[in-house]
């Protein structure tokens, strides 16, 4: 799966920065399940094709309906420069079948150190 482009963006009332991304294929329930390895996923699976929301506190959230080719990503504004590439990687790494997330997990750890230092100085 690949992010084609950002189709909309805005600064939200809660201070987060929202980007709506157009994808080359629709998101699926399985995609959000895969995201669960990197944060928390909540769902209303019986609402239409299913509403899903992934939250990675201090980094970003991703929400969308299964079957849609757009998702809404809300970045914590203060660290968006550190985390935006990881969003692209989350999408590009995903594919059907067994996924090796080891490289992503190492990147997550490295970025996490920078995010914590930027936000909390530790």
Partner 1 sequence: MTGTPPLIYLNNAATSWPKPPEVLEAITKSLSLPVFGSGRTTGSHGEDYVLMAREALSRILGADPPEHVIFTQNATDSLNILIQGFLTGKEHGCQVLTTALDHNSVLRPLTEYEQQHRIRLTVLPFSKGYVDPDSIASAIGPDTRLMVMTHGSNVLGSVQDIRTIGEILHDNGVYFIVDGAQTAGHIPIDLSTLPVDAYVFTGHKGLLGLQGTGGFYVRDPESIAPVRFGGTGTDSFSLLHPRGMPERFEAGTHNYPGLAGLAAGVKFIEETGIATIENKAARQVSCLIRELREDPNITVYQDDPALPIIPFNIKGLQNDDVGFMLARRYGIIARTGLHCAPLLHRAIDGGMGCIRLSLSWFTTDQECSIAADAIKEIANHADSQVSPA
Q: Select 8 or 117, whichever has its Cβ closest to partner 1.
A: 8
N-term to C-term CA, the chain: 34
Q: How far is the CB of 36 from partner 1 (least distance, A)?
A: 2
Dihedral sign for Cα 10, 37, 24, 92, please. Answer: positive
- Asked whether position 46 contacts partner 1 by CB under 8 A, the answer is yes
Contacts of 79 (CB under 8 A, 6+ apart): 58, 59, 114, 115, 118, 119
Q: How far is the CB of 32 from partner 1 (least distance, A)?
A: 6
- Asked whether position 48 contacts partner 1 by CB under 8 A, the answer is yes
Footprint of partner 1 (CB under 8 A): 12-14, 29, 32-33, 35-37, 40-49, 51-53, 63-68, 72
């Amino acid at each position: 799966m690949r992010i084609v482009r950002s189709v909309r963006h805005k600064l939200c009332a809660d201070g987060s920065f929202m980007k709506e991304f157009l994808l080359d294929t629709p998101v699926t329930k399985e995609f959000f399940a895969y995201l669960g390895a990197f944060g928390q996923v909540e769902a209303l699976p019986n609402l239409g094709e299913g509403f899903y929301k992934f939250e990675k506190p201090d980094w970003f959230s991703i929400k969308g309906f299964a079957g849609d080719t757009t998702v809404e990503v809300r970045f914590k504004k203060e660290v968006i420069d550190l985390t935006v590439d990881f969003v692209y990687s989350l999408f590009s790494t995903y594919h059907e079948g067994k996924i090796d997330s080891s490289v992503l997990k190492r990147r997550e750890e490295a970025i996490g150190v920078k995010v914590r230092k930027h936000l909390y100085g530790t």
